Amino acid sequence: MIEGFIPWPAEAAERYRREGYWEDLTVTDVVFQRCDAFPDRTAVIDGDRALSYGELKQRVEQLAAQFVLSGIEPEDRVVVQLPNTIEFVLVYLALVRTGAIPVMALPAHRQREVEHFVSTANARALITTDIYRKFDFRPMAEAVRSAVPSLKHVFILGEPLAGQISLHDMLQAELSEEELTKCASQYQTPPDSVATMLLSGGTTSLSKLIPRTHNDYVLNAKLCGEVAGFGPETVFLAILPLGHNYNLASPGILGVFYYGGTVVVSQDLKTEAVFSLVEKHGVTVIAAAVPLITRWLASRDEIARFDLSSLRVIQNGGAKLAPELRRRLQSSLGCTPQEIYGTAEGLVNMTRLDDPEELILESSGAPVCEADEIKVLGEDGQELPDGETGELVVRGPYTICGYFNAPEKNETAFTADGFYRMGDAVRKEGRYVYCDGRKQDLINRGGEKISCDEIESIILEHPKVELAAVVAMPDPEFGEKGCAFVQLKDDETLTLEELVSFLKQQGIASFKFPERLEVQEQLPLSPVGKVLKKELRAMVTEEA
């Protein structure tokens, strides 16, 4: 067991095994079972390229061996930052197959963030791409390598720089069965060991690492896939970043593989591109989020040109979709909306496809597992009755018992009896939860959670800034965007452009940049000197 990982208490683990939630299979065990059962079915489509399940297994086995030959060992952490491609799928499964632990960064992350992931995970390798969306990741990878001594290997999808390893070359290599078997003898994948590390939604400053075991992640994918109605005829379109828990396993690509369906991966979010893929491949379900759905509903005429007869379900994750928009998905696109309210730390709530209308339109769903214990707590930490709003907490067979290597954070992130605090204000009616808002100081920008604290501390590094507060402002498309309030040093001025260019230099993802700046003579303070964010939030909300 790697140091810094907190397993379930022995009694809980024993129960989850006894009751069949944990099957002692690894993530690649279950994927390979499907590969062996239906080798000719299509597993993944990416543009003009496709892999059958049989080919998927072969390619994963080849690449896994290449990783071992490059010096990657079981339990090594490997930060993966790749766009939605077939290679993403191969790299992810190949690492997991060997017992190395992929740490799922996003293509939007920049140096400051990647460096944080590499150093917190104590990662041995980084796998990224050459140029994506006009950004060159190769020099960034080198800068991270110079800053973090644990980082030995940099693998590049595309053209590597000197000293970097070409993923393409590794994917071309063909080892014999004998050589593959020899490499496989070095794999170590106990099912209760860590299979993957996900990133927390930046609730307090920089993201924490979320260790997910094989047993719990397989269960996560299996149950979410079941509630999504996945089967061999499923054609799932993945356009949001695959490194997010939502598209990776909730139900995501692992949920599809569990049931032998087909995944179409794409990086193109343009409405026309999305719906031409739906038509071309007979997509049955899309994993979407509020900004995309808002755009689709606003461009129904454009969409109507495509044959959407295959499309059954549009999933919404990341932030709550307004009931009226869910209704419009039914009436204009003829789809069932499926609300997915989950967290990378574990618990996933989903509406059921055959739920009564009221639940489908209004609720945030119910836990996917009967063994998920959920409670709503009041300010005093006592459980509240149904219908009253408080904080949702959870314990269960696929919810973590601690962040990786973060003892201080773990003190506050869990209750004394080991329930994880979701950080959202919800109320509950039986097993169904209803999201009412936020408890934590973050911005939910169309599903991407931005920590206000993280951005404030960077803005405070600006030489002209005396005091800063970042708050959520309402946005018709994204739900929320960030607005920065600053108090400047004497006689200084600051524009939004200047602020953004400063943040860019600091190497953070652009989705975190505030999209409005308010310079104030004096920020409102409480008697103890805390910025009164409530007032600032009220101010931007009123103006919007």
Residue 35 corresponds to which tokens in the numbers above? 């590969």
Nearest to ligand DBH of 68, 347 (CB atom)? 347
Joined together, the tokens standing for residue 482 give 């960030």
The DSSP secondary-structure symbol of 320 reads P
- Please name the amino acid found at residue 147: A
Q: Residue 517 phi/psi, 5° resolution?
A: -125, 130
Question: Which one among 274, 329, 340, 401 touches ligand DBH, defined by CB under 6 A?
Answer: 340
Nearer to ligand DBH, 211 or 318 (CB): 318
Do residues 114 and 81 make contact, with C-beta atoms less than 8 angstroms apart? yes
Instruction: Name which position in 8, 53, 137, 246 contacts ligand DBH (CB under 6 A).
Output: 246
72-131: which residues touch ligand DBH (CB under 6 A)?
none
Distances in Å between the Cα of 186 and the Cα atoms of 120, 124, 364, 520 are 26, 17, 44, 61
Task: Find the farthest-apart pair of alpha carbons in the chain and give their distance in angstroms, rounded.
Answer: 73
What minimum distance in Å lies between the beta carbon of 368 and ligand DBH? 10
Scanning the structure block, which residue is given the tokens 């509020």?
A: 290
Is residue 330 a contact partner of residue 303, using CB atoms and an 8 Å limit?
Answer: no
Q: Which residue number, 160 or 367, has a Cβ lying nearer to ligand DBH?
A: 367
Q: Which among 119-127, 229-237, 276-284, 342-350 is the span making contact with ligand DBH, rule CB under 6 A?
A: 342-350
Separation in Å, CA 15 to CA 12, 53, 163, 513: 5, 33, 49, 45
**For 153-292, where are the E strands, in sequence order?**
153-157, 165-166, 194-199, 209-213, 235-238, 262-265, 285-288
Between CA 31 and CA 254 the distance in angstroms is 8
Considering the complex, what minimum distance in angstroms separates the CB of residue 21 from ligand DBH? 17
The β-bridge relationship of strands 131-132 and 135-136 is antiparallel
For ligand DBH, the closer of residues 151 and 287 by Cβ is 287
Least distance from ligand DBH to the Cβ atom of residue 344, Å: 4
Which residue stretch of 15-23, 82-90, 160-168, 335-343 sits at the interface with ligand DBH (rule: CB under 6 A)? Answer: 335-343
Beta carbons of 250 and 231 less than 8 angstroms apart: no
Contacts of 488 (CB under 8 A, 6+ apart): 464, 465, 466, 494, 519
Which residue number is nearest to ligand DBH in terms of Cβ?
342
Q: Per CB under 6 A, does 348 bind ligand DBH?
A: yes
Among 83, 342, 397, 482, binds ligand DBH (CB under 6 A): 342
Q: Which residues lie closer than 8 Å to 414 by C-beta, 6 or more apart?
A: 401, 402, 420, 421
Pick from 154, 344, 361, 503: which binds ligand DBH (CB under 6 A)? 344
Pick one of 245, 294, 364, 399: the residue that binds ligand DBH (CB under 6 A).
245
Angstrom distance (rounded) from CA 141 to CA 105: 13
**Least distance in Å: CB of 224 to ligand DBH?**
8
Q: How far apart are CA 495 and CA 490, in angstroms?
A: 15
CB of 317 to ligand DBH, least distance (A): 3
| Distance, CA of 296 to CA of 294 (rounded, Å) | 6
Total residues in contact with ligand DBH, by rule CB under 6 A: 12
Percent helix / strand / coil, the chain, rounded to 5: 35, 25, 40
Residue from 99, 291, 318, 423 binding ligand DBH (CB under 6 A): 318
Give the nearer residue to ligand DBH in terms of CB position, either 30 or 288.
288
243 touches ligand DBH (CB under 6 A) = no
Give yes or no for residue 440 binding ligand DBH (CB under 6 A).
no
Give dist(CA 129, CA 137) in Å, integer: 6
* CB of 351 vs ligand DBH, minimal distance in Å: 12
Residue 336 lies near ligand DBH (rule: CB under 6 A): no
Task: Name the segment binding ligand DBH (CB under 6 A); options: 67-75, 180-188, 227-235, 341-349.
Answer: 341-349
Q: Contacting ligand DBH (CB under 6 A), which of 390, 423, 447, 482? A: 447
- Bond prior to 251 in cis (omega within 30° of 0): yes
396 binds ligand DBH (CB under 6 A): no
CA–CA distance, 175 with 181 (Å, rounded to integer): 10
- Number of alpha helices (DSSP H) and beta strands (DSSP E) in the chain: 20, 27
CB of 216 to ligand DBH, least distance (A): 13
Q: One-letter amino acid identity for 134?
A: K
- Between 5 and 341, CB nearer to ligand DBH: 341
CB of 512 to ligand DBH, least distance (A): 16
Considering only 317, 397, 423, 514, the residue that binds ligand DBH (CB under 6 A) is 317
Per-residue contact track with ligand DBH, 178 to 217, x per CB under 6 A? -----------------------x----------------
CB of 361 to ligand DBH, least distance (A): 18
* CA dist., res. 156 & res. 91, Å (int): 11
DSSP 11-73: HHHHHHHHTTS--S--HHHHHHHHHHH-TTSEEEEETTEEEEHHHHHHHHHHHHHHHHHTT--
Distance in Å, CB of 318 to ligand DBH, minimum = 4
Which residues, in sequence order, are CB contacts of 492 under 8 Å at separation 6+?
464
Least Å distance between CB 360 and ligand DBH?
16
Q: Which lies closer to ligand DBH via its Cβ, residue 94 or residue 288? A: 288
Secondary structure of 475-486 in HEC code, one letter for each residue: ECCCEEEEEEEE
Smaller CB distance to ligand DBH: residue 153 or 445? 445
Please, which residue, 137 or 434, has the CB nearer to ligand DBH?
A: 434
The yes or no reply on residue 402 touching ligand DBH (CB under 6 A) is no
What is the closest distance, in whole angstroms, from the C-beta atom of residue 201 to ligand DBH in the complex?
Answer: 6
- Residues lying near ligand DBH in the complex (CB under 6 A) are found at 201, 245-246, 250, 317-318, 340, 342-344, 348, 447
